Amino acid sequence: MLLLGLSLARSVSAQLTCQAAEAAQNLTQPQYNNTPNKNTNAGFLMPFVQSFLYTVQPHPFPEDLILKIIKDPQQGMSNQDQVTEILMYQVGFLVCIAIGILYIVLMPIIGFFVACCRCCGNCGGKMYQKQTSSIHCLRRTLYFSVFAITIIIFAGNICMFRSNQALKVSVNQIPSELSNALDDMHTFLKAVPQAMENVVNESYRIVQEVTRNLDDIGRQLGMKVQQRFRGTVDPALQLVRRLHQESLNTSDRLGKLNSSLVQLQSSIDRIQANLTAVRDQINQTLSEPGCTGCQNLTKDVQKLTVDTSISFPSLHDFQSALDEVIKADLQSKINEAEEFFRTIPQRLTNETNDLVQNSIKQLNDIKAQISQVSSELHLSALNDVSRNLYQVQSDINTYLLKVESADDIRWRVGVALCFVVLLVVACNILGLVLGPLGLSPKEDPTRRSCTSDCGGIFLMMGAGFSFLFSWLFMIVVLLLFLLGGNMYTLICRPWNNGLLLQFLDTSGLIPQLELGPALGLKTNINISDIYRDCEKNQPLWTTLHLHELVDLGDILNVSKYTARIREEFEKTNVTLSSVNLLSPEIKNQLINISAKATNFNSTAVIQQMNAVSSINLNTTADKIEILSQQQPTAIKAELQNEALKLRQIQADIEVTVFPQVKNLNSSIKSLQSTTEKINGTVGEVLSKVAAAQDFLNTNTTQIVKTESRRFLDCQVDYFTAYADWATIMVTQQVGRCKPVARAVDSVEVVLCVNMVESLNAFWFSLGWCLMFFIPSIIFSIKLAKYYRRMKYSDCFDNHIVMNHIPRAQIKIT
């Protein structure tokens, strides 16, 4: 728990300070071949076969009995008690052998007597069939019985074909499977020294990495210091940058506003001059003597005017304040602060030059100490094992050629046996097809068709072949049963449940397997323990108890060297000067522009623009046109002409003045929005800059010291993380011995799962067929008589005479 807490603390520190303590990735495990292929062609029969063999041999693995035979093999057969014990253990096999021998003896004898009886006219040999009322029912019963038995035999025959082919495939796969297993072992034996070399080489990489970090201390430490500063300073500088941009934008908008005011005033003056001229013409026309009712329009004509002055509060003070801020050049202050941050790495590099040189000397000592790991673990013994495996592989390849040649002969014999059984099935199927096909149930048995007669003959042929070959095949079944059954019960089953490996662990059984003393360990190591650990893919450190040979913690203890590096860091005093973000004069200018922006008021000018926008000369023009209709021709023409001029002036106002008013209104709103932003930004800038300046003045030295310690911890964590990583790699990753267990499993798969299971499936399928030959013979012989042509006929009348029963009659009177 203490080591876990320390490692977690270091990892948190590393995450905060740098990307150090990034220990190397896990060791790349070598690529091994695929797991052994399990031949599944006969696998569907194995539950039945295993259940049968467990019934035959329910006893556990005879460890004590085998030990007695191994220790004293000469007295094995002379010792009566030991022989009795062997026979008691094999009692299930003996019973099966007795049944098989009985089958072998009785089947040819029974076949001989049946043949003799039929030749003498007995046992169905007389070609006469008595016709009864149940003959059809009996024929159908026998037919379906033979059909069901034939299907069962055919299923067993299919299993024979599949298991025979599966055994051949298994034998053919032996070279590749064993070659893959041995190749995996060679790969494993080569990978262990390579992995240890990679662990040591990783320490060299760590030393080089830390050396590069020390040489680059100015940049790496400077970046961390910059990050600490920028968290507080950057927001303030960003606000100053935004205020500078807003000042420029506001100055530009003030210029546009002044230009818009001048343009609008010029347009209004021009329109006012035109309107005054038209108004004077209208007044002159209305004052003529012939004008009727013209006095009523005098007041409307006097209202024909445009406000010629658009007054706006003076923007001079606001413009002056903006100009002062712009002249102060806030961007230069930002650049000055950025330059301060940019030069931090170089200044730190200059101040830590001696520290770097002293630390690199300590790194070379660490490198020399870690290199001892490779020499402490003696791995030369793996080379001897590899050479022995090459010799074993060469011997296996020599014998496999002979095995393949013998298996080819076995496969041919197995195919022949399968086809003989298939011949019996074919005879039965032909009899079952041809018999009913040519049979007429109401026809006299002596007149049956050739097709029906052939069906009966095929059934008799099937029975004859069964008698002829079954007892010979039973000999094959017995031999294969003894071989495959005992291999499964004495080798495969205890191998699968681990009893065989435990038996090999028996003290003194194999003296060369005393691994503990051979490796110089205090404790002994069992084969079953090694297999169990390798099956879990445990490393050699755990499997072979290498901690008893090597003190890995002492070799990977680099704390004494890292303590010296830490001491060198503590002696070095690294300092940095500060920077002034904004001068007091600039702060006063910002306060001034904020006050001027607050005084900006556009309400009055907006009201004036609204008054201009409400001008409508068309109303007066309409009244003048109405009045002209009541006047003489000359006055009428003058009034209509003057109304037209008013409309033209109104059109000029709408085309020229109204867009300028709208543009001016937009400029005012934009300027008002900008001044509001400036007012808020100035306050935020002064607050943020003050906080940032205070942070720089009070924390610069402390930040440099803190980041220096973190940088040091980061470099130390490289070695701490490496030591932890190397410990994990050596104790958990180097020499994961799954290939060893897989090699053992490959032998089990090749021998037991593929070969023995296929062999057992073959004799089980053949025995299955032979057992059902007995009912097949019986029912086939009986059914054949219902299809064969008889020599003697038998009459049977199945008509029943029905007498008429008179019905009662009622006489009506």
Tell me: the pLDDT tens digits for 439-495?
Answer: 766 665 666 678 888 888 888 899 889 999 999 999 999 999 999 999 999 888 888
Q: What is the predicted pLDDT for the residue at 444?
A: 59
Q: 3-class SS at 129? A: coil
Residue 528 binned pLDDT confidence (cut-offs 50, 70, 90): confident
Distance CA 412, CA 620 (A): 126
Per-domain residue ranges of the chain? 23-58+138-188+395-497+741-796, 232-324+582-719
342-356, 614-628, 700-714: range with lowest mean pLDDT: 342-356
Quickly tell me which residue has 């001989």 as its tokens.
112
Q: 3-class SS at 449? A: coil
Q: What is the mean pLDDT of residues 103-108?
A: 91
Is 50 exceeded by the pLDDT of residue 799? no
pLDDT (tens digit per residue) in 260-270:
777 777 777 78
Bridge partners (DSSP) of residue 792 are 128
Is 90 exceeded by the pLDDT of residue 702? no
More confident residue, 599 or 499: 499
Is 70 exceeded by the pLDDT of residue 22? no
pLDDT (tens digit per residue) in 32-60:
776 666 655 566 778 888 899 899 988 88
Q: What is the predicted pLDDT for the residue at 512?
A: 54
Distance CA 670, CA 250 (A): 9
Contact 232/697 with Cβ under 8 angstroms?
no
Is 60 exceeded by the pLDDT of residue 320? yes
Token pair for 294? 């013209």
Give which of 683, 678, 693, 670 is closest to 581, Cα–Cα.
693
Q: What is the predicted pLDDT for the residue at 105?
A: 93
Q: What is the predicted pLDDT for the residue at 308?
A: 55
- Give the largest Cα separation in the chain, rounded: 171
17-31, 136-150, 159-173: range with lowest mean pLDDT: 17-31
Distance CA 285, CA 275 (A): 15
pLDDT (tens digit per residue) in 739-789:
888 888 888 888 888 888 889 999 999 999 999 999 999 898 888 877 776
Among left, alpha and beta (phi > 0; psi -120 to 50; other), residue 276 is alpha
Residue 520 binned pLDDT confidence (cut-offs 50, 70, 90): low
Determine the length of the chain: 813
Please give the share of the chain, as a percent, with pLDDT higher than 90: 10
Is 60 exceeded by the pLDDT of residue 128? no
Residue 415 binned pLDDT confidence (cut-offs 50, 70, 90): very high
Residue 804 binned pLDDT confidence (cut-offs 50, 70, 90): very low
Bridge partners (DSSP) of residue 128 are 792
Q: What is the predicted pLDDT for the residue at 594?
A: 65
Distance CA 367, CA 556 (A): 10
Q: What is the predicted pLDDT for the residue at 613?
A: 67
Q: How many CB atoms lie within 10 A of CB 360?
A: 15
Is 60 exceeded by the pLDDT of residue 797? no
More confident residue, 167 or 599: 167
Q: What is the predicted pLDDT for the residue at 7?
A: 42
Quickly tell me which residue has 């003048």 as its tokens.
624
Mean of per-residue pLDDT scores for the chain: 76
Q: What is the mean pLDDT of residues 523-547?
A: 81
Q: What is the predicted pLDDT for the residue at 811?
A: 46
Contact 41/166 with Cβ under 8 angstroms?
yes
More confident residue, 103 or 331: 103
The answer, as to whether pTM is greater than 0.85, is: no
Is 80 exceeded by the pLDDT of residue 700? no
Give which of 757, 756, 760, 748 is closest to 35, Cα–Cα.
748
Q: What is the predicted pLDDT for the residue at 515?
A: 60
Q: What is the mean pLDDT of residues 163-185?
A: 84
Q: What is the predicted pLDDT for the residue at 603?
A: 61
Is 50 exceeded by the pLDDT of residue 802? no
Q: What is the predicted pLDDT for the residue at 94?
A: 92
Q: 3-class SS at 515? A: helix
